[in-house]
Amino acid sequence: MRQSSLVVVANRLPIDDSTAPDGACEWRRRPGGLVTALHSLLRQAPATWVGWAGGTGPAPTLPDVDGVRMHTVPLTVDDLRDHYEGFANATLWPLYHDAVEQPEHHRRWWEAYQRINQRFAAATADVAETGAVVWVQDYHLQLVPGLLRALRPDLRIGFFLHVAFPPPELFMQLPRRAELLRGILGADLVGFQRAQAAHNFAQLAVRVLGLPATDRQIVVDDRVVRIGSFPVSIDSAEMAALANRADVADRANRLRRDLGSPEQVILSVDRMDYTKGIEQRLKAYSELISDGHVKVRDTVLVQVAVPSRERVGQYQILRERVEREVGRINGEFGRVGEPAIHYLTRPFDRAELAALYRVADVMAVTPLRDGMNLVAKEYVAARVDDTGALLLSEFAGAGAELSQAYLVNPHDLEGLKQGLLAALRARPDHVRKRMRAMRAHLRKHDIHAWARSYLAALDDNGSLLSRLGTTR
C-alpha cells in the first residue's frame, strides 16, 4: 500500500460524485473552506485524505485528485443513522452549541461512534508513512487521535475542532465524557476556534481526568499535549477576485433590479440549523416592520437557508417553523410582487454567492452559537469597495476577530432590532472605516495563514513544512 507523509482525516472526502449526461460517474472537488485551505499544501507532499465518499455501499476506489490520494472509509445505513445523524448531530452538535436544542443520549449511538472512529483510525494507520503527520478534523472523529496513537505511536497527530466547544457545566452532561476527552488527548496538538474553547477544554481535563493543565498544555501519561486557538478563515483573495469580476457585478445589478431596486438589502446566508438564529432574526425584522421603523418597499430581507441534516427530527421541525414564519411575515407585510422576505433554499455556486454579497447593504449573521462562521468572512472579503455593514453575533467565533462589525446578542430581541437599525442607518463614512479595517484583517488572516500556522505548531521540528517548502 502506498503511504503518505501527510494524512488528513475528515468525516467526508473533499470530492463528490457527479453523473455526466452520458451516465458516466465523475468525481469533482467539493467547494469548501477546508478543501481550499489544505489544497495548496496537500499538493506539495505525498498526501492522503481519509474520509467517507458518500453512499452506503462498499467503499469505492477513487482516483487521485490533484495528486492527493483519496482513501475511502465505508459507512452503512446503520452507521449513518447512529454515528452521523445520531451521536454526532443529535448528541454532540446541540450539546456543543449551548444546548439550544436538547441533546439526546442513546447507548447505541455511542457504540456506533466508537465503531466508526475505530474504523477511521485503522484506515489512517494503514496509509500513514512512518513518522507521518496526521491531521484529524472535527467533532465526528474525536476518538480517532487516541485510537490512532495506540495503533501507531510513531505518528505526529493533530486534532482541530471546527465547531464550538462548550463550557464544562454542559460537557459534563455527556455520559461518556471521560472517554471523549481521552480520545482527543491522543493528539499532540489540539486546536480550537477560540481561546475560550481551549480554556474550557483545559478545565475539563483537570476536573474530569485530574490532569495537570493550563490553557496552553495538558500533561497526559508523561506526554505534553499542546492546546490553542487557531481561528479558521477563508480564501479572501479568491473571494475578492470573484467579487471584482465584471460578470459578478452585472449579476449583482440584475439581482438588485429583480428585488425591486430597494434602498437597502439585508442578506442572511445560513445552513438551515437551529444554531444560526434564523427564527430570532425573522422576528426582529418583522417587529421592525410592524413598529414602523422599516418599510418593506425600501428595505428587503433576502434569507438563504439551505436545508441540511434533513433526516434529523430537530432539523425537520426547524424548517417547518421557519417556513411558517416566512409565510406569515410575507402574508402580513408583503404586497403582490413585493414580498417582505425573499426566501431561498437552494445551493448557490460561488459566483452567485459573491453577487449576493455584493448586493447586500447589511449582512445579518446572528447565530446563537457558531464555532467561527465563514459567511461573515466571505461577506467582508467580497466588499471590495469597502461598503456594507456586517451585523454579527457575539457568539460566533468570527465576533472575536471582526470587532469592527455591529456586534449583537441574538438572544436579546430588542438589542437585535437596535443593532439591525444601527447597521441600516449607519453613516457611510463609518461603515467604510469599519469595513476597511475588517478587510485588512482578513487579507492577513486568510485560510492559507490558518493552515500554515496550525501545521507549523503541530510539526514543531519543521520537517514536514520544510519538505512542503510552503511559502504562502
Binding of ligand ADQ by 166 (CB under 6 A): no
The residue range among 168-176, 223-231, 316-324, 374-382 that interacts with ligand ADQ, by the rule CB under 6 A, is 374-382
Binding of ligand ADQ by 374 (CB under 6 A): yes
Rank residues 47 and 374 by Cβ distance to ligand ADQ and give the closer one: 374
Q: How far apart are CA 215 and CA 346, in angstroms?
A: 41
Among residues 372, 407, 424, 464, the one that binds ligand ADQ under rule CB under 6 A: 372
Binding to ligand ADQ in span 258-277, by CB under 6 A = 269, 271
Q: What is the DSSP string of 108-159?
A: HHHHHHHHHHHHHHHHHHHHEEEEEEEEEESGGGTTHHHHHHHH-TTSEEEE
The residue range among 171-179, 221-229, 372-380, 455-463 that interacts with ligand ADQ, by the rule CB under 6 A, is 372-380
Binding of ligand ADQ by 124 (CB under 6 A): no
Binding of ligand ADQ by 162 (CB under 6 A): yes
- Give min distance, CB of 219 to ligand ADQ, in A: 28
Positive or negative CA dihedral for 401, 267, 323, 81?
negative
Binding to ligand ADQ in span 282-321, by CB under 6 A = 304, 306
Q: How far apart are CA 152 and CA 121, in angstroms?
A: 9
Burial of 319 (0-12, 13-18, 19+ CB in 10 A): middle
- Give min distance, CB of 143 to ligand ADQ, in A: 20
- Give min distance, CB of 244 to ligand ADQ, in A: 18
Give the number of C-alpha atoms closer than 13 A to the C-alpha of residue 376, restricted to the C-beta side: 31
Three-state DSSP class for residue 364: strand
214, three cell numbers: 493550563
Burial of 357 (0-12, 13-18, 19+ CB in 10 A): buried
Q: How far apart are CA 131 and CA 146, in angstroms?
A: 16
Q: What is the DSSP string of 164-226?
A: ----HHHHTT-TTHHHHHHHHTTSSEEEESSHHHHHHHHHHHHHHH---B-SSEEEETTEEEE
Rank residues 300 and 374 by Cβ distance to ligand ADQ and give the closer one: 374
Binding of ligand ADQ by 33 (CB under 6 A): yes
Distance (Å) of CA 181 to CA 341, 403, 437: 44, 32, 38
- Give min distance, CB of 376 to ligand ADQ, in A: 8
Among residues 286, 373, 393, 404, the one that binds ligand ADQ under rule CB under 6 A: 373
Among residues 85, 361, 378, 401, the one that binds ligand ADQ under rule CB under 6 A: 378
- What is the chain's length? 472
The residue range among 104-112, 149-157, 214-222, 346-354 that interacts with ligand ADQ, by the rule CB under 6 A, is 346-354
Among residues 55, 347, 428, 462, the one that binds ligand ADQ under rule CB under 6 A: 347
Among residues 186, 371, 388, 399, the one that binds ligand ADQ under rule CB under 6 A: 371
- Give min distance, CB of 468 to ligand ADQ, in A: 22
Rank residues 286 and 393 by Cβ distance to ligand ADQ and give the closer one: 393
Rank residues 27 and 348 by Cβ distance to ligand ADQ and give the closer one: 348
Which ranges constitute the DSSP H helices of 191-347? Answer: 195-209, 236-244, 246-258, 278-290, 313-333
Rank residues 155 and 455 by Cβ distance to ligand ADQ and give the closer one: 455
Rank residues 204 and 354 by Cβ distance to ligand ADQ and give the closer one: 354
- Give min distance, CB of 220 to ligand ADQ, in A: 26
CB 125 within 8 A of CB 148: yes
Rank residues 4 and 89 by Cβ distance to ligand ADQ and give the closer one: 89
Binding to ligand ADQ in span 50-89, by CB under 6 A = none
Rank residues 4 and 233 by Cβ distance to ligand ADQ and give the closer one: 233
Those residues whose C-beta lies under 8 Å from the C-beta of residue 64, and which sit 6 or more positions away, are 70
Instruction: Give the neighbor-by-neighbor strand order of the sheet with 47-52.
Output: 69-72, 47-52, 4-12, 128-137, 156-160, 189-192, 223-229, 217-220
Rank residues 384 and 421 by Cβ distance to ligand ADQ and give the closer one: 384
Closest to 262 in 3D by CA, of 339, 330, 352: 339
* Cα 349 to the center of its chain, rounded Å: 17
Among residues 85, 370, 401, 446, the one that binds ligand ADQ under rule CB under 6 A: 370
Rank residues 339 and 371 by Cβ distance to ligand ADQ and give the closer one: 371
Among residues 353, 355, 464, 465, the one that binds ligand ADQ under rule CB under 6 A: 353
Q: How far apart are CA 84 and CA 173, in angstroms?
A: 20
Characterize the bridge pairing of strands 341-344 and 299-306. parallel
- Give min distance, CB of 59 to ligand ADQ, in A: 25
Among residues 148, 180, 375, 464, the one that binds ligand ADQ under rule CB under 6 A: 375
Q: Which positions touch ligand ADQ (CB under 6 A)?
A: 33, 162-163, 232, 269, 271, 304, 306, 347-348, 353, 370-375, 378
